[in-house]
């Protein structure tokens, strides 16, 4: 993603920094992700924020919100991830059944 020189200024005007998360007040898509037009192309704004602060996103990686707030653009809430990692984390958060050897109750 090559950033347009004016994109940083355009973004600054559309960020609400009142809370822990920096919320995007510009356009949001149907999934709740903010977007901006960069060089004629719609880009998810959290990806643009990531590139502005940390540099290019390595091929095959996603930019994910550690805060789970989809329209947050605070750079410290953004991290690189893979689909595989996100799936594994989601699975880990699911509580295992009580009779599963992965459950704490299994060893009582
Ligand atoms: Zn956040």
Domain count, the chain: 1
Cα 34 to ligand 1 centroid, rounded to whole Å: 13
Q: Is 108 inside any structural domain?
A: no
More confident residue, 89 or 48: 48
Residue 98 lies in a domain: no
Whether this model's pTM surpasses 0.75: yes
User: 73: CA distance to ligand 1 center in Å?
Assistant: 7
Average pLDDT over residues 51-79: 95
Asked whether residue 55 is assigned to any structural domain, the reply reads yes
Residue 32's pLDDT is 94
Which residues sit with Cβ closer than 5 angstroms to ligand 1, an ion?
21, 67, 69, 72, 74, 77
Sign, CA dihedral 4-16-28-44, equals positive
Residue-range definition of the domain harbouring residue 28: 7-82
Residue 2's φ and ψ, nearest 5 degrees, are: -100, 125
Task: Give 68 Cα–ligand 1 centroid separation in angstroms.
Answer: 7
Is the predicted pLDDT of residue 103 greater than 90, yes or no? no
Residue 41 within a domain: yes
Of 87, 65, 89, the closest CA to residue 77 belongs to 65
pLDDT tens-digit series, residues 2-59: 999 999 999 999 999 999 999 999 999 999 999 999 999 999 999 999 999 999 999 9
Whether 103 maps to a domain, the answer reads no
| Paired tokens of 84 | 């595989």
Residue 93 belongs to a domain: no
Residue 91 lies in a domain: no
């Amino acid at each position: 993603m090559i950033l347009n020189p004016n994109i940083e200024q355009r973004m600054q005007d559309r960020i609400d920094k009142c809370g822990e998360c920096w919320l995007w007040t510009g356009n949001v898509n149907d999934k709740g992700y903010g977007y901006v037009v960069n060089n004629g192309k719609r880009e998810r704004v959290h990806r643009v924020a990531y590139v502005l602060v940390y540099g290019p996103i390595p091929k095959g990686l996603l930019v994910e919100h550690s805060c789970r707030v989809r329209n947050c653009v605070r750079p410290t809430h953004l991290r690189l991830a893979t689909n595989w990692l996100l799936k594994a984390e989601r699975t880990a958060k699911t509580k295992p059944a009580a009779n599963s050897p992965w459950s704490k109750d299994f060893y009582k």
